[in-house]
Structures are given as C-alpha cells and as structure tokens.
Amino acid sequence: MRWEGATMFDHNGIPSTKVTSLAVVLAIGTLVSPADAQSAAPAGKPVAAPYRYLPSRFSRRASMYYGAIWGVDSLGVKLTESGEVIRFTYRVLDADKAKALNDKKVEPSLIDPQAGVQLVIPSLENVGQLRQTATPEGGKSYWMVFSNKGRLVKRGDRVSVVIGQFRADGLVVD
C-alpha cells in the first residue's frame, strides 16, 4: 500500500476504502450459510402447499377386466357411519355375468391384510343381511355393507372383496 496525500492506495492503484468495502462484503457473504440463502422464497411466486399422495383408486385395465368377466364396474369401498360400517358398491353392466355377486347363498367378505381382519356382512333380526340380493339389472348400482366393529379397517387401506368366485383386490377404502 502507498500513501498519496490523505488517501491510501493498494498496489493496483485502487483507493483503500474500496478495498476495505470489498473485503467486508466478501466476509459477510461467507458468514451467510447456504441453508439461509436458499430458504427465502423468490418474490412474486407463492410457496406450494404440501399435499397428500392419493393412490390410484382403480386402474383402467382392472375396470375392463371386471366389466368383461363379471359384468360390473365402478367398484368402490367407503367408510360410513363414523367408520363402524364399510360400504361396497358396484354398477352392473351385464346382468347375467353379475348374478354371482347377488347370490343369497354366497357369504361375501372384505379382507384387509394390513389390519389382519376379514369382515362379514351383519345380519339383523327384522331386516336380514345388509346387502342387495335381487336379480341384477344392467345400469343399476348395488351395495352391501360390512361390519367394521372396532374400526380396524382405516381410510386409505387396500382391501379385497370376495363373493364366491368373484374377487376384487387392491380396492382403496375412501
């Protein structure tokens, strides 16, 4: 460094105040951690809210299979009555193929491997089984309910519904 009058210069002829300012800026820049530098959201862009992953409810291929083999589609499993009952629904496409699902002699069950349970349809004294057993008609929706006493099956679980030879695997409980 050299002196010329009242100003100090470095070896390149730059005034010392600029050298000092540059040194201060570099020192502050090294004190800011990379995490702090990345945490600020860019101005004008909203921060995306986190979202829950929702698994695929029913594949197109599975829908085509159940329609072609069993004559049904729009299979659904839903918690009702505060989770004490699980409702299985389906829509009939072909009444002849769908007869097996409405057979009174067959005992349907809902299996949840995650909870390790097999649920059955409850039977009430004055009402009978809580399911529809009338001869199926094309274009109509039908249902049956399974008792979920103790609420062992939860929303989001993948379950299987078995009615005689009919078996629907991987249905997600809504």
Instruction: Convert the pLDDT of each residue in 83-136 to its tens digit.
Output: 999 999 999 999 999 999 999 999 999 999 999 999 999 988 887 788 988 999
Q: Contact at 8 Å (CB) between 78 and 141?
A: no
Is the model's pLDDT at 151 over the cut of 90? yes
Q: For the whole prediction, is pTM greater than 0.75?
A: no
Higher pLDDT, 68 or 126: 68
What pLDDT does residue 135 have? 93
Q: Tell me the C-alpha distance between 101 and 109, whole Å.
A: 12
Handedness of CA 166, 58, 62, 133 (dihedral sign): positive
- pLDDT, one tens digit per residue, over 32-43 is 545 544 555 555
Once rounded to an integer, what is the mean pLDDT over residues 52-58? Answer: 58
Q: CA gyration radius for the chain?
A: 34
